[in-house]
Every structure is written in structure tokens, then in C-alpha cells.
């Protein structure tokens, strides 16, 4: 059972170690370093049992010693079992070897006699063979003489049949065979052409003249392929035709054929299966299918090869042609890259180009086409990376623009939240997709991309740095911050979305992108250390943090201006000197609260909740209302002649004894902070509008009633209740300062009017109870 509990791998390793130690020439050498390390070097020859026991006693308690005893007992038993099996196996091998040796001894007996008999038979065969060779020698000489005569007759017959053969080749257009036949007969014509074979020579030259004319026609025929024209030129040269005069014309034909080798999208889509899909590769044959483009390029390469054979001094012209082919391919790719393509499509294009480069390089080694292609491909890959970032920037801008249109049209209730989530996804997931796209370029084994790996790493890092700078500029453009005249045309909700999106980029997107770049795009350094790092996430985070704060303040400003317009209409419309006695809370309060509620609903879609902090003070603090201040009520109840003189002094004395209240605090990225700031600024604007008017008693009482009604709703919206009380008190004090007869409403009347307004509100909105 103990042996069965040991895993098979460990058991096999232990068996191998035992055999190694058994057959090792030097027993002092350790058999398995990994095993010694796991067993505290107990199997080595330098093992010290006393030191081992002392160390074990010092480091282990009684329970540990017992456990070690059990483990060692099990190991001893396993070792005994293994040694026993080893002995049995070796014993069986020794028995088998002994039996084999016995059989060999029995089989060798009698072999020497057989070998002598075999030698005798071989000698007999050799003597008989010598006799046969001697008897057939004369006949063999005669046969060889007849064979030479037959070959000579065949040559003579070939010369007589040559005109007819050439005529058949002309009819079948087998010009290569005709040239081969004629060049083969030329040595005979040079020796015997003027005597024995004069007629054959004349007829053959007439046929060759026809063939030369036909080859010249094929050489300059537009309907013939490049390969066929190249073969015609080679045949003409074999016939000693002066082809140097044809060099310029043939080169012009090559240039014309080069214009037809355009890299079109059909060739790209029909390219061979990508090497990253092994399942499809297994289904393909050993040789991948050749596309029409590759076949054309191969034909062009063979034509160049033939041209080099015909005109050995034309390397410079052919090199120029080959480079022009690569340049045309990369220009076509550059136009293709301007469209929205993925890295897989770009890889297919580069593979096609690199295949063409290798074909050209195989024909023209001196052109060094690989280096030339590398220099031009750098421009294409760099532009692809830049265009990818440009498309991502365009997608994010489109998402934000669509949210602005939806917000204008009111197509969706939570359009701001939808726009924010879509923008977050587009920024983060879009960036991850871009990195994954670029990672395919790095992981591909194409030799061209392997050489550009460090460049790609630098371009990706520089691209992200430049992308986020442009994204920040695009945010400013969408918000209208760069042009103050566009503020009225830009929806405030979009500005709030931009503020929260900037914070998301700083806190979430940049760290994620930085991690991915560090994991997959580290290295580079081609740009040089003097320029500093290509990607600086700290700088981007600071930039978007600043931009987010600007957008948040811009949103508060825009919403505050809208509230100020509402308040301005309220205070500029009536004649406050002739205001009638207040009978109810003015409708502007409903409009004001409705605007605040709309702002709060808008902010809820975008910003997270914050901690509500209700700051209240005692009777000396700024949270006391104007009607609960005994000093102010006593002053307001004096006679009209004394009140006008003492009201200003009373107000300033009350301010001196008020507790200092921090009204305008730093705006945070949460709902309560933003709404509180807008309400505070709105109440401050309300105070300033009050100071610009002059009120009679009824007008002052109307302001008192409206402000008193605003207290509770405002405190439900704003987290800083102390500041709200202070600002509302300031509005009443300002109204009292600008009032000709500042006698406030009696508390019972004030409460009655407020309760009537609340009852009316509940009747109109029963669901809000």
C-alpha cells in the first residue's frame, strides 16, 4: 500500500536514481541534485548522521520527530522493495545472457568447414568467368565498332532530317526545340557545310531565318507574356542574333508590365491562411496555394532573371525596377492603411510585400531589397499606428457627440449615464483593443516586423502619449471652453460627462493602460535617452485631473448662470415699491426648486454619492433664521423713524457676533458637493439681486415668505445646512436693508401661508407624499 501511494513520476525518478547510483563509475558523485535537496543531502557520501540528528532535534518537536520517523521508515521500505526488484531484473538479464552465449558456442561449431567449402566454390566461379571473357573478347570488339558506326549514321541522318525537323517546329511554334536542334548541328555545318551537307545547311538557314523573324515578333508582342518574351530573347541570343539593340525596347516592356502589378484588395483577401490558425494550416497541403498576384510577381521575377542573363550589365536598371515595385506596393498599402483596418489585414499585406521582396532579392542580390523594404515599411507601420489612434479618438468623440444630440432631443431618460458608460467603455476597451491589435504585430514572426519590433514599441508608447493629449484638446473643444461664445450652445450635461470621464481616465484607464504597456510593450529605446521616456502616465494623469476640475467648475458656472437668469427675471419684472400684500409663496420658488431638482437628477446620473455632513451650530451661529433672532425682531418692531436709522447698525452688529461659516468650500467629484455649490451660488446671486431693488413692506414680506419656504427643500438638497441657513438669512437681511418699512410677517401668518403652499403642492403632486 505504501508503494502504491507514491506517485508514478516520483517512483520512476527514484528507480532511475538507484540505477544511476548502482552503475556510477564514481560513487562519490551525487546521483540526483534535486533529490539531495529534497532529502537534506541524506543520500550523499558526505552525509553526517550526527550533525543531521542534532539539526533535526533542534528544529523539530516530538511530534515532528515521530512524523519524520514514520516517513523515513516508509522510505526505507520503498528502497528495499526497489532494490529487490532491481536484483530480480538483473538476475533475469544474467540468465538470459548466459543462455545466449551457450547458443552461440553451439552454432559456431562446424562453421570453419563451411567457410572452406564456400571459398573453394568462389574460386571455381572466378576461373569459369575468366574463360568466358577470353572467348568473347573478339566479339565484343566487333560489337563496339558496329555501335560507333551506328551512332555516326544517326548523326548523318539527323543532319539530312534537320530542315524537315525545323519546318515541323515552325508549324508547332516549338522554337526552343528548333534552336536546340540547329545549335547541335552547327559544329558539323562549320566543318562539312560547304561540301557534303551544303544543301542541308542552306535549307536549315532559311528555316532559322523564319524562326528568328517569329522570335522577334514574339519579343515585341503585347499579347505575349513576360516569360515568353524573355524566352524569345534567350533563343535569339543563342542564335547569335545582335540582341543588344533590343535592350531598351525590352526594358520598356518590363516597365510597362510593372505598372500592371498593382496590389489590390482581392489579392489581400485571397492571401494564404494566417500562420496563427494551426487547424487550417493542417488542412492545407505542404505548399500553400499561389495567388494570382504572386504568380504575376514570379513571372516578373523570372523575366528579370532572363533579362540579367541576356544583358549582364543591366543590374542598376533592374535594381531600380525592383525598388519601384516595392515602393508601389507600400504606397498602395499606405492608402489602404488610411482606411480603418485591423492588424490581421495589415499583416496579410506585409506578408505579400515581403514575399515579393524575397522573390526580387533572390533574383537581384545586389539590390539588398530587404533593407530597402525595411526603410519604407517603417513609414507604413508608423502611419498605421497613428491612424489607429486617430480612429479611436474619432470614436470617442462620436460617442460624446451622440450623447449631446440625445440630450437635446430628450430621446432617453438616463441619456447622460448611458453616454458616460459608453464613453468609459470606448476609452478603456478601445485602448485595450488597440493594444491587442498592436500586440499581434509584435508577436508575428514575419522577419520584417521582427526587425521593426523596437520601433513599434516606441511608436505605441509615443502614440498613447500623443493620443491622450489630443483627447484632452478634443474634450476642451466639445465643451466650448476654448471659445466662450459657445457656452450657450453646449449642453451642461455634456460638460459634466466630460468632467467625470476625465476623472475615470486619470484613476482607471491610465493605470490599466500603463500595466498593459509595461507587460507587453516594454523595451524600445530607439528614440534615444536624451528625449526621455515616450509614455509618461504621471503627466497624463495630472493633465486629466486638471481638466476634470475645470469641467466641473464650468458645469457649476453654466448651471449657476441658468439659475441667475431665472432670478433676474423674478426681480426685474415686478414693481417692488407698489407690491401687494403677500397671499401665497411666489411661483418663482417652484421654478427655482424645479431647476435645482433637474440639476440634482442630472448630477445623480454622472457623479457618485458623497457623505452628507450636516453642520449646525447653536443660537450664536449662522444657522438661525432672521425671524428667530430676538434682537432683530425687537428692532423691526420699533417705530418707522427709528428703524430706518438703526437697521443698518443692527445688521452689522449681528454679523460681528455670528459664528464664522465656511460657505464656498472646494468642489469634490460627488453629487452633494456639486449641488451644494450650485445652490450656494444661486442663493448668493439671489442676495445680490435683492440688493439691487427697493422694497415696500409687502415686497419685503413676500421675500421673507419665499425665503422661509425655501429653507426645508434647500436643506434636503444641500449637505451643508449651516451655510444654507446663513445665506438665506443674508437674503432676508439684504431685503430688510433695502426695505422702506421692514416689518416682517407675524410667525402665525408666515406658518399659515407656508402650510397652505405645502397643501397645494401635495394636491398637485400626490405621488410625492
Q: Give per-residue pLDDT as tens, 223-249.
A: 777 677 778 878 887 887 776 667 777
Note the pLDDT of residue 668.
84
What torsion, rounded to 10 degrees, do the Cα atoms 208, 214, 218, 223 define? -150
Q: Report the distance separating Cα 542 and Cα 553, nearest Å.
A: 17
C-alpha cell at 20: 544511476
Q: Rounded mean pLDDT of 654-669?
A: 61
Instruction: Answer whether residue 361 shows pLDDT above 70.
Output: yes
**C-alpha–C-alpha distance, residues 554 and 179, integer Å:** 89
Residue 16 has pLDDT above 80, yes or no: no
The C-alpha cell at 435 is 493594444
User: 110 — alpha (psi -120 to 50), left (phi > 0) or beta?
Assistant: left
Which residue has better confidence, 481 or 494? 494
**Cβ-contact 303, 292 below 8 angstroms:** no
Mean pLDDT, rounded, for 327-341: 80
Residues 384-421 have pLDDT tens digits of 889 889 989 998 888 888 766 655 555 455 678 888 88
Yes or no: say if 267 and 253 are a contact pair by the CB < 8 Å rule: no
pLDDT at 282 > cutoff 60: no
Residues 184/196, Cβ–Cβ less than 8 Å? no
Cα 4 from Cα 67, distance rounded (Å): 20
Predicted pLDDT of residue 276: 42
Q: Give residue 636's pLDDT.
A: 40
d(CA 581, CA 512): 64
> For 695, phi and psi rounded to 5 degrees?
-115, 150
Residue with cell 437681511: 733
pLDDT tier at 662 (50, 70, 90 boundaries)?
A: low
Q: Say if residues 416 and 487 touch (Cβ distance below 8 Å).
A: no
Task: Count CB-CB contacts under 10 A for residue 271.
Answer: 20
Beta bridge partners of 695: 739
Percent of the chain with pLDDT over 70: 77
Which of the residue ranges 1-5, 319-323, 549-553, 721-725 has the most confident prediction, judged by mean pLDDT? 549-553
Across residues 425-444, what is the average pLDDT? 89
Is 88 strand, coil or helix? helix
Query: What confidence category does residue 273 fall into, taking pLDDT thresholds of 50, 70 and 90?
Result: very low
Residue 365 predicted with pLDDT over 70: yes
CA neighbours within 13 Å on the CB side: how many for 640?
7
> Averaging pLDDT over each range in 30-44, 54-68, 506-520, which range is the top one?
506-520
Residue 177 has pLDDT above 70, yes or no: yes
At 469 the pLDDT is 92
pLDDT in tens, 673-703: 888 888 888 888 888 888 888 899 888 888 8
Maximal CA-CA distance, the chain: 169
Least confident of 226-240, 466-480, 572-586, 643-657: 643-657
Give the contacts of 733 (CB within 8 A, at least 6 positions apart). 626, 651, 654
> Nearest-5° angle of CA 243, CA 247, CA 251?
145
pLDDT value at residue 641: 35
Confidence band of 654 (pLDDT split at 50, 70, 90)? low
pLDDT tier, 543 (very low <50, low <70, confident <90, very high otherwise): very high
Instruction: Examine the pLDDT at 11 and tell me if it is beyond 70.
Output: no
SS3 for 564?
A: helix
Between the alpha carbon of residue 144 and those of residues 139, 152, 153, the distances in Å are 9, 13, 14
Taking residue 602's Cβ as centre, other Cβ atoms within 10 Å add up to 23
Mean pLDDT, the chain, integer: 77
Asked whether the predicted pLDDT for residue 490 surpasses 60, the reply is: no
User: What digits encode the pLDDT tens for the residues 201-230?
Assistant: 888 888 888 888 888 787 777 677 767 777
Query: How many beta carbons lie within 10 A of that of residue 665, not counting itself?
Result: 12
Give the cell for residue 470. Answer: 489630443
The Cα 22–Cα 83 span in angstroms is 10
Amino acid at each position: 500500500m505504501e508503494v502504491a501511494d507514491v506517485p508514478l513520476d516520483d517512483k520512476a525518478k527514484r528507480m532511475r536514481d538507484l540505477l544511476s547510483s548502482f552503475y556510477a563509475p564514481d560513487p562519490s558523485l551525487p546521483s540526483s541534485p534535486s533529490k539531495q535537496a529534497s532529502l537534506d543531502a541524506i543520500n550523499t557520501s558526505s552525509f553526517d548522521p550526527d550533525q543531521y540528528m542534532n539539526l533535526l532535534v533542534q528544529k523539530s518537536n516530538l511530534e515532528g520527530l515521530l512524523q519524520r520517523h514514520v516517513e523515513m521508515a516508509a522510505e526505507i521500505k520503498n528502497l528495499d522493495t526497489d532494490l529487490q526488484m532491481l536484483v530480480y531484473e538483473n538476475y533475469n538479464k544474467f540468465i538470459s545472457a548466459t543462455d545466449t552465449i551457450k547458443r552461440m558456442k553451439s552454432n559456431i561449431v562446424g562453421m570453419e568447414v563451411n567457410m572452406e567449402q564456400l571459398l573453394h566454390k568462389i574460386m571455381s566461379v572466378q576461373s569459369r568467368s575468366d574463360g568466358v571473357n577470353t572467348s568473347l573478347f573478339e566479339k565484343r570488339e566487333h560489337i563496339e565498332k558496329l555501335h560507333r558506326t551506328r551512332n555516326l549514321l544517326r548523326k548523318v541522318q539527323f543532319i539530312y532530317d534537320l530542315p524537315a525537323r525545323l519546318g515541323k517546329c515552325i508549324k508547332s511554334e516549338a522554337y526552343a526545340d528548333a534552336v536546340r536542334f540547329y545549335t547541335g548541328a552547327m559544329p558539323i555545318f562549320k566543318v562539312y557545310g560547304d561540301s557534303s551537307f551544303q544543301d542541308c545547311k542552306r535549307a536549315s538557314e532559311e528555316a532559322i531565318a523564319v524562326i528568328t523573324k517569329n522570335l522577334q515578333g514574339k519579343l515585341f508582342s503585347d499579347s505575349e507574356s513576360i516569360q515568353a518574351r524573355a524566352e524569345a530573347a534567350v533563343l535569339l541570343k543563342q542564335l547569335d542574333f545582335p540582341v543588344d539593340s533590343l535592350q531598351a525596347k525590352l526594358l520598356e516592356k518590363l516597365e510597362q508590365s510593372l505598372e500592371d502589378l498593382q496590389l489590390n484588395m482581392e489579392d489581400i483577401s485571397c492571401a494564404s491562411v494566417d500562420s496563427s490558425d494551426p487547424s487550417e494550416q493542417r488542412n492545407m497541403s505542404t505548399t500553400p496555394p499561389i495567388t494570382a498576384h504572386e504568380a504575376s510577381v514570379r513571372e516578373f521575377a523570372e523575366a528579370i532573371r532572363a533579362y540579367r542573363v541576356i544583358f549582364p550589365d543591366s543590374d542598376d536598371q533592374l535594381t531600380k525596377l525592383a525598388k519601384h515595385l516595392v515602393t508601389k506596393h507600400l504606397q498602395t498599402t499606405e492608402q489602404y492603411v488610411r482606411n480603418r483596418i485591423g492588424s490581421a489585414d495589415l499583416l496579410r499585406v506585409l506578408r505579400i510585400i515581403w514575399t515579393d521582396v524575397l522573390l526580387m532579392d533572390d533574383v537581384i542580390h545586389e539590390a539588398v531589397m530587404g533593407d530597402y523594404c525595411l526603410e519604407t515599411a517603417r513609414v507604413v507601420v508608423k502611419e498605421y499606428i497613428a491612424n489607429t489612434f486617430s480612429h479611436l479618438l474619432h470614436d470617442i468623440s462620436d460617442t460624446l457627440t451622440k450623447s449631446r444630440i440625445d440630450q437635446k432631443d430628450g430621446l432617453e431618460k438616463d441619456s447622460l449615464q448611458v453616454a458616460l458608460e459608453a464613453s468609459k467603455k470606448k476609452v478603456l476597451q478601445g485602448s485595450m483593443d488597440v493594444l491587442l491589435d498592436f500586440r499581434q504585430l509584435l508577436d508575428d514572426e514575419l522577419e520584417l516586423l521582427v526587425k521593426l519590433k523596437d520601433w513599434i514599441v516606441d511608436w505605441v508608447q509615443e502614440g498613447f502619449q500623443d493620443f491622450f493629449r489630443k483627447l484632452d484638446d478634443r474634450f476642451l473643444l466639445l465643451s466650448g471652453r476654448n471659445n466662450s461664445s459657445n457656452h450657450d450652445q453646449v449642453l451642461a450635461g455634456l460638460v459634466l460627462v466630460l468632467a467625470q470621464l476625465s476623472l475615470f481616465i486619470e484613476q482607471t484607464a491610465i493605470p490599466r493602460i500603463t500595466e498593459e504597456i509595461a507587460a507587453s510593450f516594454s523595451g524600445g529605446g530607439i528614440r534615444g535617452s536624451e528625449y526621455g521616456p515616450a509614455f509618461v502616465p504621471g503627466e497624463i494623469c495630472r493633465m486629466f485631473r486638471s481638466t476634470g476640475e475645470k469641467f466641473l467648475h464650468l458645469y457649476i458656472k453654466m448651471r449657476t448662470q441658468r439659475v441667475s437668469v431665472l432670478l433676474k427675471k423674478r426681480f426685474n419684472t415686478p414693481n417692488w415699491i407698489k407690491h401687494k400684500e403677500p397671499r401665497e409663496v411666489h411661483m418663482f420658488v417652484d421654478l427655482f426648486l424645479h431647476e435645482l431638482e433637474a440639476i440634482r437628477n442630472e448630477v445623480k446620473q454622472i457623479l457618485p454619492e458623497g457623505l452628507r455632513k450636516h453642520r449646525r451650530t447653536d443660537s450664536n451661529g449662522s444657522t438661525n433664521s432672521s425671524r428667530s433672532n430676538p434682537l432683530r425682531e425687537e428692532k423691526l418692531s420699533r417705530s418707522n423713524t427709528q428703524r430706518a436709522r438703526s437697521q443698518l447698525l443692527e445688521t452689522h452688529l449681528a454679523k460681528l457676533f455670528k459664528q464664522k461659516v465656511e460657505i464656498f468650500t472646494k468642489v469634490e467629484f460627488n453629487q452633494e458637493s456639486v449641488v451644494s455649490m450650485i445652490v450656494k451660488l444661486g442663493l448668493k446671486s439671489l442676495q445680490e439681486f435683492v440688493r439691487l431693488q427697493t422694497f415696500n413692506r409687502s415686497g419685503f414680506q413676500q421675500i421673507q415668505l419665499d425665503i422661509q419656504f425655501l429653507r426645508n427643500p434647500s436643506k434636503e438638497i444641500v449637505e451643508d445646512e449651516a451655510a444654507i441657513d446663513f445665506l438665506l438669512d443674508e437674503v432676508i437681511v439684504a431685503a430688510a436693508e433695502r426695505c422702506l418699512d421692514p416689518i416682517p410677517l407675524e410667525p402665525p401668518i408666515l406658518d399659515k401661508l407656508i402650510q397652505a403652499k405645502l397643501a397645494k403642492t401635495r394636491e398637485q403632486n400626490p405621488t410625492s407624499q
